[in-house]
Amino acid sequence: MFSAAPASARSRWWLVGIAAAAAVVAAGLVTVANGDADGGGLGVFRYAGSGPVSVPEPTPTLGDAANGPQERVGVSAPTRSVLRGVLRDQQEALSHEDRAAYVSTWVTNRRRSREQAQSTYANITALGLSALRLQLVRGAVHEVVPRLGRRAGPSSWTASVRFESALYRHGDARDVDVSYTFTRLGAETRIQSIRAGAVGREPIWLQGRLRVIRTPEATVVGHDDDTVIALSRQLAKVRRDVHAVTGPMKAELLLFAPRNVGQWERALDVGPGDYDGLAAVTTTLDGPTDAGPPVLIAMNPETGAHLVDLGVQVLLAHELTHALTGAVTVDTPAWIVEGFAEYVAFEAVPVPVRLSAGFALREVRRNGLPHQLPTDVDFARAKSRDVAYAQSWVLSRVIARQHGERALVVWYEAMIREPDRLDENLHSLLGITESQLIRRWIDELRRLSSARRSGPAQR
């Protein structure tokens, strides 16, 4: 679904059979974003939980309010030269994978600085960042001094640094601006801290010590060993399930399980609460719609705590379908993109129709049969999105049942390539018109609704 504002979510519950019992799985929303920082181009999918999450306050560093009133003034050319030298030393240490040399560019007699140096180096090497280049951003270097008066000689500076790297030792280099704080200790100048820049996403490698597992399916990143191991195993199974419908497809994936909601929001460059209730976001790694691989699937840690294994599998299957089929950066109508992902997810983890189509059938009982396809606006509105998802799943199911699953896949792939050729692709690949598809869809909703009233609907 594509909307102009971040989606919001409300919690709901649905049942998934596990053996002879039923497990309760939290349901809500998962967002598929095209990378716009303001939430433009969002696609929404279910599964979210609720509950308070404590987001720790940022660690105070030089320049924060915790260190007293300060101001920034420009710096001299010799000072900029010194700072560039520190960055060159750090770049060389990273390029040679020299941990001791990298840590030595930091203020090592301060615990927080030392710990950040160690975690940042470990993260950069574990993620396989290469082709590293660090540069001062022109005009973004400032001396930090107390507002009450200048010290006898400057000792601290802040600088915007462009951190350029290639991820996983392949693909084109990309860059991100981060904020460095430098401190002079005697005759030496060292790095005191690195923080996210004023604009854009916070790099994952700045979010504390990471745990990284690389599998044929993806690179799985998080902070908890058990979570990362479990996700990597689930992803392997889910990918096989998705391939069973779509056929073999390749995509470079980064699956990220942050420690808390604050990290999740900073990694996606959204404001506090903008994505409350959403269970995951699938997007390009650095935001722009034309960015190269890998595709980022960011899990909401608040929601994950409420999902049983099958709920996570459905969630991953839906998101993986978007990633593998190139649906992250396209303008294909939401009912096609989301309906197909729902279809694949519920083929991977079958549930009764009364659950997968439940909101659509409830809408029929309350307001009668629909007269048009779900719109992108329907997916954006909290009051209509659940119905839109269920209706879109029924649409994909109708095509699969009447034309065959392979025909559904071929038509979907054509619509991903050619979002504006709905009529042509329906006619050439399925032999039907949009009006015929709508009539068959309405007939199926009528049939399912009648079956629901007379007894349990079957898949």
In a domain, 459, yes or no: no
28-32, 220-224, 270-274, 349-353: least confident range: 28-32
Is residue 312's pLDDT more than 50?
Answer: yes
Report the pLDDT averaged over residues 338-343.
96
25-29, 107-111, 352-356, 435-439: least confident range: 25-29
In a domain, 46, yes or no: yes
104-113, 199-208, 396-405: least confident range: 199-208
Query: How far, in Å, CA of 240 to CA of 147, rounded?
Result: 61
β-bridge mates for residue 458, sequence order: none
If asked whether residues 391 and 335 sit together in one domain, one would say yes
Report the pLDDT averaged over residues 306-326.
87
Domain harbouring 417, CATH code? 1.10.390.10
If asked whether residues 243 and 392 sit together in one domain, one would say yes
Residue reference for tokens 């399925």: 430
Kindly report whether the peptide bond that precedes residue 272 is cis, defined as omega within 30 degrees of 0: no
At 125-167, the pLDDT tens digits run 998 888 689 999 987 888 886 655 555 445 899 999 999 887 7
In a domain, 364, yes or no: yes
If asked whether residues 383 and 252 sit together in one domain, one would say yes
Domain boundary among 165, 191, 206: 206
Which of 146-155, 287-296, 297-306 has the highest mean predicted lDDT (pLDDT)?
297-306
Band the pLDDT of 249: cuts 50, 70, 90: confident
If asked whether residues 437 and 301 sit together in one domain, one would say yes
> Is the Cα dihedral 325, 326, 330, 334 positive or negative?
positive
In a domain, 370, yes or no: yes
Report the pLDDT averaged over residues 269-289.
77
Query: How far, in Å, CA of 295 to CA of 275, rounded?
Result: 19
Query: How far, in Å, CA of 257 to CA of 234, rounded?
Result: 13
Is residue 415's pLDDT more than 90?
Answer: yes
Query: How far, in Å, CA of 175 to CA of 133, rounded?
Result: 9
In a domain, 45, yes or no: yes
**178 or 58, greater pLDDT:** 178
Check residue 256 and give left, alpha or beta (phi > 0: left; psi -120 to 50: alpha).
Answer: beta
Contacts of the segment 372-375: beta carbons below 8 A, 24+ positions apart: 372/438, 373/333, 373/335, 373/434, 373/438, 373/441, 374/334, 374/335, 375/334, 375/335
Triad 283, 284, 287: Cα angle to 5°: 100
Residue 435 burial by Cβ neighbours in a 10 Å radius (0-12, 13-18, 19+): exposed
Is residue 28's pLDDT more than 60?
Answer: no
Q: What is the pLDDT of residue 12?
A: 27
Q: How far is CA 85 from the centre of its chain?
A: 35
Domain boundary among 175, 206, 237: 206
At 84-134, the pLDDT tens digits run 999 999 999 999 999 999 999 999 999 999 999 999 999 999 988 886 899
* Cα–Cα distances in angstroms (integers) from residue 166 to residues 124, 288, 294, 313, 347, in the given order: 11, 16, 11, 30, 36
Q: How many domains does the chain have?
A: 2
Report the pLDDT averaged over residues 201-228.
90
In a domain, 190, yes or no: yes
Strands in 156-166's sheet, in edge-to-edge order, are: 70-74, 130-146, 156-166, 174-185, 188-196
Q: What is the pLDDT of residue 75?
A: 80
If asked whether residues 320 and 411 sit together in one domain, one would say yes
Query: How far, in Å, CA of 131 to CA of 173, rounded?
Result: 7
Q: What is the pTM of this model?
A: 0.76
44-58, 217-231, 235-249, 256-270: least confident range: 44-58
Domain assignment of residue 33, given as a range: 12-55+210-454
Q: What is the mean pLDDT of the chain?
A: 79
Q: What is the pLDDT of residue 319?
A: 92
Is residue 296's pLDDT more than 50?
Answer: yes
If asked whether residues 199 and 219 sit together in one domain, one would say no
pLDDT > 90 in the chain, percent: 51
Please give the full DSSP string across 254-316, using - where no structure is assigned.
Answer: EEEE-SSHHHHHHHHT--TTTTTTEEEEEEETTS-TT--SPEEEEE-HHHHTT--HHHHHHHH
If asked whether residues 381 and 438 sit together in one domain, one would say yes
Domain boundary among 149, 177, 206: 206
Question: How many helices and strands, by DSSP H and E, does the chain display?
Answer: 15, 14
Query: How far, in Å, CA of 53 to CA of 61, rounded?
Result: 24
Query: How far, in Å, CA of 277 to CA of 220, rounded?
Result: 22
If asked whether residues 186 and 315 sit together in one domain, one would say no
User: Using the 8-state DSSP alphabet, how is residue 106 labeled?
Assistant: B
Query: How far, in Å, CA of 407 to CA of 400, rounded?
Result: 7
Residue type for 8, please?
S
**69 or 291, greater pLDDT:** 291
Q: What is the pLDDT of residue 277?
A: 63
At 380-396, the pLDDT tens digits run 887 898 899 999 999 99
If asked whether residues 273 and 327 sit together in one domain, one would say yes
Is residue 424's pLDDT more than 60?
Answer: yes
If asked whether residues 170 and 268 sit together in one domain, one would say no
Band the pLDDT of 39: cuts 50, 70, 90: very low
Residue reference for tokens 């040679």: 96
If asked whether residues 202 and 233 sit together in one domain, one would say no
In a domain, 232, yes or no: yes
At 433-443, the pLDDT tens digits run 999 999 999 99
Residue reference for tokens 């600088």: 159
Q: What is the pLDDT of residue 321?
A: 94
If asked whether residues 364 and 389 sit together in one domain, one would say yes
β-bridge mates for residue 253, sequence order: 295
Query: How far, in Å, CA of 36 to CA of 228, rounded?
Result: 27
The stretches of 38-177 forming alpha helices (DSSP H) are: 77-95, 99-103, 111-127
33-37, 351-355, 451-455: least confident range: 33-37
At 47-95, the pLDDT tens digits run 333 222 222 333 333 333 233 334 456 688 899 999 999 999 999 999 9
Q: What is the pLDDT of residue 289?
A: 52
Please give the full DSSP string across 375-436, using - where no structure is assigned.
Answer: PHHHHHSHHHHHHHHHHHHHHHHHHHHHH-HHHHHHHHHHHHH-TT-HHHHIIIIIS--HHH
Query: How far, in Å, CA of 259 to CA of 243, rounded?
Result: 30
Give every CB contact of residue 298 below 8 A, 6+ residues apart in sequence.
256, 258, 264, 267, 268, 280, 281, 282, 283
Q: What is the pLDDT of residue 275?
A: 80
**2 or 162, greater pLDDT:** 162
In a domain, 91, yes or no: yes
Domain harbouring 186, CATH code? 3.10.450.50
Q: What is the pLDDT of residue 367?
A: 95
* Cα–Cα distances in angstroms (integers) from residue 231 to residues 50, 257, 313, in the given order: 21, 9, 9
Residue reference for tokens 């002879």: 20
